Amino acid sequence: MDSFVADKDRNEHEERVQAAVKMTAPGTALRMALDMIIAGHLGALICVGDTENVLAAGDDGFRLNTSFTANRLFELCKMDGAVVIDKDFTQILRANYHLNPDPSLPTTETGTRHRTAARMSLLTKATVISVSERRQVVNVYVDGKGFQLRPVSDIMATVSQITVAMLNTRQQLDRSLVYLTSLELDNVVTMGDVTNTFYLFEVLMTLGEQLDNCILQLGREGRTTQMQRDEYLGDMDDTYTLMIRDYAKDSSEENARAIRKRFHDEPNAELRSAKAVAKTLGYDDGRSEDTIMTPLGLRTLSRVSVVRDGMADKIVDEYGSLQDVLEAAEDDPSRLGEIGVKNPGVLANSLHRMLGQGE
Q: What tens digit of pLDDT does each residue of 100-124 get?
A: 998 889 888 888 899 999 999 999 9
Please give the distance of CA 163 from its chain centroid, rounded to a whole number: 15
187 and 323 together in one domain: no
The total number of structural domains in the chain stands at 3
Could you tell me the residue range of the domain that residue 31 belongs to?
Answer: 2-149
Of 149, 179, 201, which one is at a domain's C-terminal end? 149
Alpha-carbon span 300 to 358, nearest angstrom: 13
Contact between 89 and 51 under an 8 Å Cβ cutoff? The reply is no
46 and 97 together in one domain: yes
Alpha-carbon span 6 to 3, nearest angstrom: 5
User: 253-304: per-residue pLDDT in tens?
Assistant: 999 999 999 999 988 888 999 999 999 999 988 788 999 998 988 888 887 7
270 and 304 together in one domain: no
137 and 216 together in one domain: no
169 and 99 together in one domain: no
What's the pTM? 0.82
Alpha-carbon span 197 to 200, nearest angstrom: 5
342 and 305 together in one domain: yes
CATH number at residue 186: 1.20.1260.110
User: 134-153: per-residue pLDDT in tens?
Assistant: 888 999 999 999 999 999 99
Alpha-carbon span 197 to 271, nearest angstrom: 10
Of 149, 172, 201, which one is at a domain's C-terminal end? 149
Alpha-carbon span 297 to 242, nearest angstrom: 9
CATH number at residue 120: 3.40.1700.10
**Strand ranges in the chain using DSSP code E only, listed in sequence order:** 44-48, 58-59, 62-67, 82-85, 91-99, 127-131, 138-142, 145-148
Task: Decide: helix, strand or coil at residue 111.
Answer: coil
31 and 155 together in one domain: no
Alpha-carbon span 143 to 49, nearest angstrom: 13
User: 196-245: per-residue pLDDT in tens?
Assistant: 999 999 999 999 999 999 999 999 889 999 999 999 998 899 999 999 99
Tell me the sheet residues that pair with 128: 47, 141
283 and 335 together in one domain: no
User: 66-90: per-residue pLDDT in tens?
Assistant: 999 999 999 999 998 999 999 999 9
202 and 283 together in one domain: yes
- Pairwise pLDDT comparison (60 vs 166), residue with the higher score: 166
Contact between 111 and 117 under an 8 Å Cβ cutoff? The reply is no
8 and 127 together in one domain: yes
355 and 276 together in one domain: no
Of 97, 126, 149, which one is at a domain's C-terminal end? 149
219 and 327 together in one domain: no
pLDDT at 90: 93
